[in-house]
Amino acid sequence: MHLADPRLRDARFDGARTAGLDPLGADGPLAAVPAMNAGADVRALTAALRRLTPSLPEVAAFDFCECLAAMRDLGLLLGSIKRHGVQPLPEVPGLETVLVELGRRTEMIPRDTVHHYTEWNPLGPRQRMYTGDPQETVLMGGPRASIPELGQALERCAALADTDVADPAFAPLLQELGDHLAAFETVIADVVARVSPEFFAQQMRPYYEEVAVAGRDWLGPAAAHVPLYLADLALWASDDNDPAYEAFLEESAEHTLPAWRGLVRQWRDRPSIVRRLREAAEPDPAPWGAHLTALHRVMRSLVVFRGRHLGIARKAYKEEVRLYELGSGGGSIGLLQSILDLTRENAVTAKALAPAPAGRTA
Ligand code: HEM
């Protein structure tokens, strides 16, 4: 089945091309950022930001991906300066209008996001980093590896919404959705194995603090903004009205791609996949074995990701380790626990409906 869904894929966002671009001539200056940050050298960071900020006519000459790359590079300096306690915009004349314009041109917020900092950030010697620590590269690897898989997963979610549960294409689509979401399990295992909670809490977390632009505070490029909630909405969350999760989701959605942002409204009021299959299988689950097994596997991947993720998040936000009470996406450990609980409840529903594997008595 050809799945390229024009509602979800926006060819203007060419990550590989953006990663290769250096529209501000920032490769050299940004390589020095880790040393400036290590020395808390706000003066050098601010001077670099002043030098790199383009004029509005320069921005007008950028193409779409150059606008994304320019935002990525200005963003590294915004987060760095704020990390040392200084709001960057008052220090750099003309920067605010440039950020607003770059946001407008790309239909994104007026600062960098997790997409800029990871997917559109080159690997190797040109990689833009706050700290230069190899653990930072591992952390960036989480969104880098999971966002493209999530994109594939969301295309399957869209196709599933348009496919009758009795259609022979339904169960294979659900299996493919599971294959793509399983990437989250691997990604978090890698981070847990190679990033210490102390490094995240004390070295990285401060760079994701909010920066004031155009009268609002905008959170930094945190993994918490990877829009996994869109898969939740399609799978189970459109049936639930958890106010804390909804508020988190609304805020996070601002930080993602315009085509994905639009899905929140579309998917919020549709019956979820869990509900559709529960209703289909209630009278007699027997004909729905393949569907229910696939659904159980998808839900289990989400539970495994969230269980491992909560484990490391708890360690990073322990009172004696943390510098901040709230996460970089503005949420709390309590929020993560409640999202995990809701995901688990739905995984339990899927498991109860799924046929017992061979060798297991029902
Ligand atoms: C040491 C590493 C990490 C820590 C301490 C951590 C911590 C947190 C915390 C505290 C939250 C709650 C919301 C908020 O931040 O405001 C959160 C949310 C989230 N984080 Fe992480 N995180 C880490 C790594 C990752 C990685 C590698 C990913 C991979 C994609 C990720 C994906 C998410 C997602 C998708 C959410 C939204 C809630 C959800 O969907 O369950 N995080 N994280």
- CA angle, 202 as apex, 304 and 187 as ends, to 5°? 25
pLDDT of 158-183, one tens digit each?
999 999 999 999 999 999 999 999 99
Closest atom of ligand 1 to CA, residue 227: 35
3-state DSSP call for residue 353? Answer: helix
Q: Which of 224-228, 242-246, 288-292 has the lowest mean pLDDT?
A: 242-246
Q: Which of 236, 240, 309 to mutate to test the pocket of ligand 1 (most atoms within 8 A of CB)?
A: 309
| Tokens 């050809």 belong to residue | 2
Closest CA to 335 of 227, 226, 224: 224
- Whether the CB-CB separation of 234 and 267 falls below 8 Å is answered with yes
> Model-level pTM?
0.95
The pLDDT assigned to 155 comes to 96
- Whether the CB-CB separation of 21 and 63 falls below 8 Å is answered with no
Closest CA to 50 of 20, 29, 19, 28: 29
pLDDT band of residue 4 (cuts 50, 70, 90) is low
Q: How many CA atoms lie within 13 A of 71 on its CB side?
A: 33
Helical segments of 284-332, H only: 289-316
Return mean pLDDT, the chain. 94
Same fold, 15-126 and 134-353: yes
Contacts of 39 (CB under 8 A, 6+ apart): none
Ligand 1 pocket check for 177: Cβ under 6 Å: no
Domain boundaries of the chain, sorted by first residue: 15-126, 134-353
Q: What does the pLDDT average to over 181-202?
A: 98
Contacts of 120 (CB under 8 A, 6+ apart): 15, 18, 19, 68, 69, 72
Q: What share of the chain is helix, strand, coil (3-state, %, to 5)?
A: 65, 0, 35
Flag whether pLDDT at 356 surpasses 80.
no
Ligand 1 pocket check for 328: Cβ under 6 Å: yes
3-state DSSP call for residue 244? Answer: helix
Pick one of 3.20.20.80, 3.40.50.10490, 1.20.58.1320, 2.60.40.420 as the CATH number of 15-126.
Answer: 1.20.58.1320
User: How many whole angstroms from 200 Cα to the centroid of ligand 1?
Assistant: 11
pLDDT of 63-109, one tens digit each?
999 999 999 999 999 999 999 999 999 999 999 999 999 999 999 99
Burial category of 282 from C-beta neighbours within 10 Å (exposed 0-12, middle 13-18, buried 19 and up): exposed
pLDDT band of residue 3 (cuts 50, 70, 90) is low
144-180 CB burial, b ≥16 within 10 A, e <16: bbbbebbbbbbbbbbbbeebebeeeebbebbbbbbbb
Query: Which structure tokens are listed for 58?
Result: 């320069």
Amino acid residing at 191: V
- What is 134-353's CATH number? 1.20.58.480
Nearest CA to ligand 1 atom 15: 327
The DSSP element (H or E) to which 224 belongs, if any, is none
Nearest CA to ligand 1 atom 17: 224
Flag whether pLDDT at 362 surpasses 80.
no
- Whether the CB-CB separation of 208 and 222 falls below 8 Å is answered with yes
